[in-house]
Structure formats: structure tokens, C-alpha cells
Structure 1
Amino acid sequence: MESRLIAATLLLCCFGYACAGNMPDYIKICHRNDPELSKCVKQSVHNLRPYLGKGIKEINVPALEPLYIGDLNILEGGSSGITVKAKKLNIFGASNFEITKMRASTQNRRFDFELLLPLLQGDGQYDINGNILALPIKGNGPFVGNFTNFVAYVRITYDVRNVNDIDYFEVKEFALKIRTGKGRLRLENLFNGDKVLGDVINQTINENFELFTNEVIAPIARALEVKFLAIATKILENFTYNELFPV
């Protein structure tokens, strides 16, 4: 009886090691009772970065580089009555984030973390009409932008969903806020290509970059929420809760 119990124990241990060994390289296991769980989760997310940039074909996670936002109504009648629309919006550099703060709790089923986005680049088409600092602005055409040291605050709450006696990680809420940093924008073809007026507006925007981006950042953050939630969900649905967070 004792020998059979020992054999069964060894079999379970071997099975456990085999399961762990079968986990892909992009998944770093964090034990839910780890006293340094926050540190482990931070390392786990950082481990994912190069895979997110290229995409993970085996579980249908699209590449994060570039991050395609598409068409977006950025601002409709803001504080100065300005309307801003973007089309075919692409963002580069989103996978180069760095987690600067992390608080993870499996007991509260919540993760809070702060991301530094050291360098983002964007391009696409724009349509703008309204006033910036009492200056009229109107035009449509291509734009490019460089953005440095933007900070994102992310809150994730989740449930553990049981399906056929197997627990899965299910995201309840994915909330993201962005604090703008520095950067430069270039809008081409303002005022039907009037270079003098166009240069004045571009200079005004860049001299007041933080004011301008604070006005338009909220809908961009909402669009990023949708994109990141889809990526997180796609990763999590391929693994059980016990595989990701064993005891």
C-alpha cells in the first residue's frame, strides 16, 4: 500500500512537471500565494513584450507592431468647438512599454499597474476643423507624430469562471488612462496646402503640445483599451487559471 502511494505521488509530481514544461516560453508562471506576486506578474508581462510585438500565431494574437487603430472620432466639439478625426491610424512602439509600478492581488482579483511608454510614433490621415488658442484651424491630409514619456495607468479586475470543472481567468474590467508627455505633430495640407498658415498652426500645436494632447487623448485611450483587452482575452482564454496561477 505504501509503495503504491509513493508511486502515485511520484506520478503526480511528474505530471505536474510535464504540464509546466509544456507551457510556452512566453508564459511565465506565477504562484497565486507567492509573497512577491506583484514582482512575478511584472516579470511575466515584461517577458511577453517581444512576443506581443511580433504576434503569437499559435493562439491568434495579432502583432502589436504596428498597433492599427483605424478610423477614430478623436474630438467632436471640444472646449473650443474643435473637431478632430483620424483615419487609418497606426501607432508604433506600443510593445516597448515598461511597467514602473505593479500591485497584484489574486485575493482581490485585481491588478493595478503603471506603464511608461518611452517612445511612440503615429501616422495616418486627419480631418480637423475649429480653433486652437483662438486661432482658426481647418484641413485634412496626412499626419505624423512622435510622442515621448507617455504614462498609462491600467486597472484590471477579473473573475474565475468554471467550465466543465475547469477554472478559467475572465477579465471583468480593463480600464486605461493616459497622462501625456512631450512630442511633436506635423499636419500636412492645412488650409488647402497654404504653407505659411500651415507652419503657424503646426508651430502653435507643438508649442502647446500638452494642452492639445490633453484635449484629444481620452478617445485614443478608449480605443487602446479595446485593443489591449482583446489581446489579453485572447492570451488568457488559451490557458486555465491553475496553469497561469497555480497554488
Structure 2
Amino acid sequence: MITRVVVVFLCCLAVALAQEFTNNIRNCRNSHIDDISICLMKAIKNIQPELANGLPELGIPRLEPLRLDDVVFRQSEPPVTIEAIYQNVLVTGLTNFDIKYLDIEYGPVNRRLGIGMVIPSLTLRGQYRIGGNIFLLPIEGEGDFITILDGVIAEGTAEIVPRGDGYEMENVNIGFKIRSMKSKMDNLFQGNKILSDTVHHFLNENGQLVLDEVRPGISNQLNGFIAELFNIMFKILPKDILETLPQGTRSLKDTRNNPATNTRNNPPRNRNNPPPAAGAAAGIRRTG
């Protein structure tokens, strides 16, 4: 009986939260016409604690853990030759994001959204299989692994496209960089600590090489997450709201002048993911 009451309560809470989110988005038109981006960020913040488990009432599926496709890492230049396969990789921590800026540019030619966020850490867990040589040391192992990516900065752009009675996001292109990466593999060399420490040292010192193989999978998941979340908001947002925005740009307080959180001065170095235009302020910009 108690379990049933709890389930009913949680369902009612989810419905109420979804309705509140819908009302907040619609109210952005009436209450925050000059700072739509701030209003949207607040609406996202309100539902953020529920994103990990999903909000079916809004069409948002469970977002954690995310599953990556199998990852193959190869290093084939002597004296180091390694092949590692990572399988059943699950990622947690994505929904702990902190949006640092949101740019919406809407005009006759340019219709674009730019976003920058910080994720404190991402944790990857799964199974691995590794073989090869480091200098003259043959290495082998198979078992569970954990990798922690600290200080993740994600940044990129998407096109805003009118669709039916609302808008949709297309060509979402979010890249990311990290401050540090640390991996731990169980059962390397059947638990030989000296040999396993040697391999862990090499992998952690060359984490960027491993990250380059994992990056596409994480980026795809990140792009899908951003597109899904904002498409839901754009469906709720009255279609004419972007077309009736006043001229000028609104800035988000402090987010671009704080060296500790200034993602715009440190865009992801990914040639396939250009950062938003230099000098653009965080907020709403309507052109032409």
C-alpha cells in the first residue's frame, strides 16, 4: 500500500513539474521578452534534477546512464604498441551540467543558437580488453574499467529552423575539452601491481590519445541530449516570439568575466566544431 502511494505521489509530482516547465517557457514571452535566454536557462534549471531519470510527460527519456558504442584504441608506433577495446561503456554525470551562456541569434539570414556549459565530471564504466607492448614489456588484461573526466567544458552551435507551429534545432555541433582524465583497469597482468601501475601511468599520461577515440561517442550523445531538450522548449515557445524580439543584446551577469568559468575564452579545440563568433555576448541577439 505504501509503495503504491509513493508511486502515485511521484507520478503526480512529475506531471506537476512538466506542467510548471511548460508554463515557465510560455511565460518567457510575457515576463522576459528582453532576456529570453535567461528565462530559458531558469526553466531548464528547474527540471534539471529530474533529467537523469527522464520526464516522459515532456517526452524526455531517461538520460543516465548513457551508453556508448564500443571504442577501439590503437597505438602502433614503437616502442609502444597497444590495442584496447572498451565495451558496454556507460556514462554518468552529464545531467550535472551548468549552462554558462546561451546565445540566440534570429534574423533573415542567421538563425542560430550558441551554448556553453561546464560539467564537473563524467564517469565512464564498462569492460576492457587490452594487449600489446610498452617498450619491451608485454601487456595484457581483461576486466572492468572506470575512467573519470574532470572539468568538462562543452561548447558549440546549432541552427534554429522554423517547423510547423514552432522551431527545431538542426546541425547541432557541440564539442568538448577536459581538464584531466584518470583511468583504472581491474585485473591487468592478473593483479600484478608493479606491472599494472606501469600501464596505468602510461595511459593516464597519454589520456588525450584515448580521449580522441572516446570523443565522437560522447559528442554524439551530448548533441542528441541538447537537441532533444531544446526541441521540447521550442515546441512550447510561441512561434512568433523570436520574430518580435527587440533589437539589442542582453548579457548574462558575471558568466563571461569570471576566469574560473569563462568558457568563451577557452573554446574546444576541435576544427570540426568552431566556437561561436568571437565577441558575441551571452543572451539574445536579433539581426537585421
C-alpha deviation, 1:130, in angstroms? 5.0
Aligned positions of 1:227-246 closer than 5 A: 227-228=224-225, 231-232=228-229, 235=232, 239-242=235-238, 245=241
Superposition RMSD on alpha carbons, in Å? 3.5
Contact 1:181 1:210 in 2 (8 A): no
Q: 1:221 to 1:161 in 2, by over 3 A?
A: same
The aligned residue for residue 118 of structure 1 is 120
Q: 1:233 to 1:98 in 2, by over 3 A?
A: closer
Q: 1:189 aligns with which of 187, 190, 197?
A: 187
* Matched AA of 2:175: K
Q: 1:110 to 1:202 in 2, by over 3 A?
A: same
Q: 1:128 aligns with which of 121, 127, 130?
A: 130
Q: Deviations over 1:211-232 (max 9, x none)?
A: 3454334223333245415633
CA distance in 2 between counterparts of 1:205 and 1:49 reads: 34
* Matched AA of 2:182: R
- Structure with higher Rg: it is 1
Q: Deviations over 1:155-206 (max 9, x none)?
A: 12121112xxxx1322211111111112321011224544332121113333
Q: 1:77 to 1:161 in 2, by over 3 A?
A: farther
The aligned residue for residue 224 of structure 1 is 221
Q: TM-score, normalised by structure 2?
A: 0.62
Contact 1:176 1:221 in 2 (8 A): no
Q: 2:142 aligns with which of 125, 137, 140?
A: 140
Greater shift, 104-113 or 132-141, is seen at 132-141
CA distance in 2 between counterparts of 1:40 and 1:135 reads: 57
Q: TM-score, normalised by structure 1?
A: 0.71
C-alpha deviation, 1:234, in angstroms? 6.7
* Matched AA of 1:211: Q
Contact 1:183 1:209 in 2 (8 A): no
Higher strand residue share: 1
C-alpha deviation, 1:145, in angstroms? 2.3
* Matched AA of 2:219: R
CA distance in 2 between counterparts of 1:133 and 1:75 reads: 18
User: Which runs of 5 or more structure 2 residues have no equivalent in the other structure?
Assistant: 1-15, 245-288
Greater shift, 25-34 or 48-57, is seen at 25-34
Q: Deviations over 1:121-149 (max 9, x none)?
A: 22111233456799765433211122221
The aligned residue for residue 24 of structure 1 is 19
C-alpha deviation, 1:88, in angstroms? 1.8
Contact 1:53 1:95 in 2 (8 A): yes
Q: 1:215 to 1:186 in 2, by over 3 A?
A: same
User: Which runs of 5 or more structure 1 residues have no equivalent in the other structure?
Assistant: 1-20
Contact 1:76 1:83 in 2 (8 A): yes
The aligned residue for residue 14 of structure 1 is none
The aligned residue for residue 43 of structure 2 is 44
Say which SS state the counterpart of residue 21 (structure 2) adopts.
coil
Report the count of equivalent residues: 220
Q: 1:40 to 1:88 in 2, by over 3 A?
A: same
Contact 1:178 1:217 in 2 (8 A): no
* Matched AA of 1:149: G
| Aligned sequence identity (%) | 23
CA distance in 1 between counterparts of 2:36 and 2:191 reads: 55
Q: 1:136 to 1:173 in 2, by over 3 A?
A: farther
Work out whether 1:101 is the aligned partner of 2:96. Answer: no
* Matched AA of 1:24: Q
